[in-house]
A and B are shown apart, each in its own frame.
Chain A
Amino acid sequence: MRFSFLSLMRNAMAGQSLWTPQWPQVEPKPFYDAIIVGAGGHGLGAAYYLAKEHGITNVAVLDKGWLGGGNTGRNTTIIRSNYLYDESAGLYDHALKLWESLSQELNYNVMFSQRGVLMLAHTVHDIQVFKRHVYANQRLGIDNEWLTPAEAQAYCPPLNISADARYPVLGAALQRRGGVARHDAVAWGYARAAAERGVDIIQNCAAVSIRRDADGRVAGVDTERGFIGAKKVAVSVAGNTSPLMESAGVRLPLESYPLQALVSEPVKPVMPCVVMSNTVHGYISQSDKGELVIGSGTDQYISYSQRGALHIVEETVAAICELFPTFSRMRMLRNWGGIVDVTPDRSPIVGKTPVPGLYVNCGWGTGGFKATPGSAHVFAHTIARDEPHGLNAPFHLDRFRTGRLIDEAAAAAVAH
Chain B
Amino acid sequence: MIQVRCPYCDALLPEQEFAYAGQAHIARPEDPSAETDEAWRDYLYIRSNTRGLHKERWRHVHGCGRFFNAIRDTVSDRIQETYRMFETPAGGSADE
Contacts and interface: CB of A to CB of B under 8 A. Distances in A.
B75 A302 contact: no
A48 B48 CA distance: 32
B38 to A, nearest CB: 6
A327 to B, nearest CB: 24
Contacts of A301: 20, 56, 72, 74, 77
B77 to A, nearest CB: 5
Interface stretch (B5-13, B24-32, B39-47, B85-93): B39-47
Contacts of B16: 311
A118 B53 CA distance: 41
B48 to A, nearest CB: 8
A339 B41 CA distance: 24
A223 B49 CA distance: 22
A107 B38 CA distance: 47
Contacts of B94: none
In terms of DSSP, what is the predominant structure of the interface of chain A? loop
Interface stretch (A129-137, A193-201, A249-257): A249-257
A253 B49 CA distance: 9
Nearest to A245: B49
A335 interface: no
A324 interface: no
Interface string B51-62: 100101000000
B74 A302 contact: yes
B1 A304 contact: no
B47 A255 contact: yes
B95 interface: no
A252 B47 CA distance: 7
Interface residues of A, number: 24
A401 B37 contact: yes
B37 A304 contact: no
A34 B85 CA distance: 47
B64 interface: no
Given A243-B51, A300-B19, A305 B76 contact: yes
A310 B1 contact: yes
A279 interface: no
A251 B50 CA distance: 11
A344 interface: yes
B2 interface: yes
Given A309-B15, A311-B1, A400 B47 contact: no
A300 B74 contact: no
Interface string A229-253: 0000000000010110000000111
A303 B77 contact: yes
Contacts of A254: 47, 49
Contacts of A252: 46, 49
B63 to A, nearest CB: 16
B39 to A, nearest CB: 10
A242 B47 CA distance: 9
Contact of A305 (B37, B41, B44, B77): B77
7 smallest CB-CB distances across A and B, nearest first, come from A253-B45, A242-B49, A300-B20, A301-B20, A309-B1, A401-B41, A400-B45
19 contacts: A242-B47, A242-B49, A242-B50, A243-B49, A251-B42, A252-B49, A253-B41, A253-B45, A254-B49, A255-B49, A256-B49, A301-B72, A301-B74, A303-B74, A303-B75, A304-B51, A309-B2, A311-B16, A401-B38
Interface of A: 240, 242-243, 251-256, 300-305, 309-311, 341, 344, 400-403
Given A242-B48, A300-B20, 11 more contacts: A242-B51, A253-B41, A253-B47, A254-B49, A301-B72, A303-B74, A309-B1, A400-B41, A400-B46, A401-B40, A401-B41
